[in-house]
Structure 1
Amino acid sequence: MTTHMEHLLNVRLCERFGDAAGWSEVTRLTASHLRVVVSALGAEDALTFLTAARRALDEEASRAGTIHLGFGAHLWTHLEGVSWGASSLAGTSAWDAMLTMHRLSVLAPDPGLGAHLDSAVDACRLRLVPAAAGF
C-alpha cells in the first residue's frame, strides 16, 4: 500500500471512529485487515472487492433468520464476473482478510463491519479520483 493510500484509509477510519488511540479492539484489528486488502489488491481492485463485500454483508443481513449459505457464499456470488485477482496470492490474502473481518464482526458486532467497509470504500474512491476532477 502506498503511503498516500495508507493515509487516506486512516483519515476515513478516524473520521468515522475518532482518534486511532481510542479505537476499540475490533476496529484496530479490522483496520489492519483492511490494509491487507487494499495493499494486496491495489485501490481499483480493492474498491471492487470491498463493494462486493458490502453487498454481501447487506444480503446476509436481509436473509437473517432464513436458511442461506452465509457471508462467504454471498461474497463469492457478488464477485462473479468481476476482476479482482481471485486466483492470485494477493486475491487469496484479501479473501482471508475479509473472512477474518467478518468473523471479528460476528464476535464483536459493535461498530459493525459495514461501517469499516464504507470507510475503506471511500478511501479507495478518493485514491482513484484525480485531484483535478473536483474543479
Structure 2
Amino acid sequence: MTTDMEHLLNVRLCERFGDVADWAEVTSLIAAHLRVVVSALGPEHAMTFLAAARRALDEEESRAGTIHLGFGGHLWTHLEDAAWSPSPLAGTAAWDAMLTMHRLSVLAPDPRLDVHVDSALDACRLRLVPAAAGF
C-alpha cells in the first residue's frame, strides 16, 4: 500500500472512530486487515472486493434467522458477479483478511464491520478520484 493510500484509510477511519489511541481494540485489528486488503489488491480491485463484501454483509443481515450460506458464501457469490481478476496470491490474502475481519466482528460486534468497510471504500474512492479533480 502506498503511503498516500494508508494515509487516506487512516483519515477515513479517524473520521468515523476518532483518534487512533481511542479506537476500540476490534477497530485496530480490523484496520490492520483492511490495510492487507487494500495493499494486496490496490485501490481499484479493493473497491470491487470491498463493495462485494459490503453486499455480502447486507445479505447476511437480511437473512438473519433463516437458513443461508453465511458471510463467506455470500461474499463468494458477489465476487463471482464482479468483473475483476487480481493475482491468486492477492485474492487469497484479501479473502483471508476479510474472513478474519468478519470473525472479529462476530466476537466484538461494536463497532459494526460495515462501518469499517465503508471507511475503506471511501478511502479507495478518494484515491481513484481525487477531490482536486476540478469539480
Matched AA of 1:50: L
C-alpha separation in 1, matches of 2:5 and 2:130: 13
Matched AA of 1:77: T
Contact 1:59–1:74 (CA under 8 A) maintained in structure 2? yes
**Over aligned residue pairs, what C-alpha RMSD do you find?**
1.1
The SS at the match of 1:54 is: helix
Contact 1:56–1:74 (CA under 8 A) maintained in structure 2? yes
| 1:133 to partner: Cα distance | 2.5
Contact 1:30–1:104 (CA under 8 A) maintained in structure 2? yes
Deviations 1:42-79 (A, max 9, x none): 00000000000000000000000000010000001101
Residue 121 of structure 2 corresponds to: 121
Q: Which runs of 5+ in 1 are unaligned?
A: none
Residue 28 of structure 1 corresponds to: 28
| 1:88 to partner: Cα distance | 1.0
| 1:132 to partner: Cα distance | 3.9
Residue 4 of structure 1 corresponds to: 4
Aligned counterparts, 1:1-135, within 5 A = 1-81=1-81, 82-85=83-86, 88-135=88-135
C-alpha separation in 1, matches of 2:105 and 2:131: 34
- Identity of paired residues, percent? 81
Aligned length: 134
Q: Which runs of 5+ in 2 are unaligned?
A: none
Contact 1:36–1:97 (CA under 8 A) maintained in structure 2? yes
Normalising by structure 1, we get a TM-score of 0.96
C-alpha separation in 2, matches of 1:131 and 1:80: 31
Contact 1:48–1:84 (CA under 8 A) maintained in structure 2? no
Deviations 1:11-69 (A, max 9, x none): 00000000000101100000000000000000000000000000000000000000001
Change (3 A) 1:133 1:27: same
| 1:96 to partner: Cα distance | 0.1
Normalising by structure 2, we get a TM-score of 0.96
C-alpha separation in 2, matches of 1:107 and 1:43: 28
Matched AA of 1:67: I
The SS at the match of 2:133 is: helix
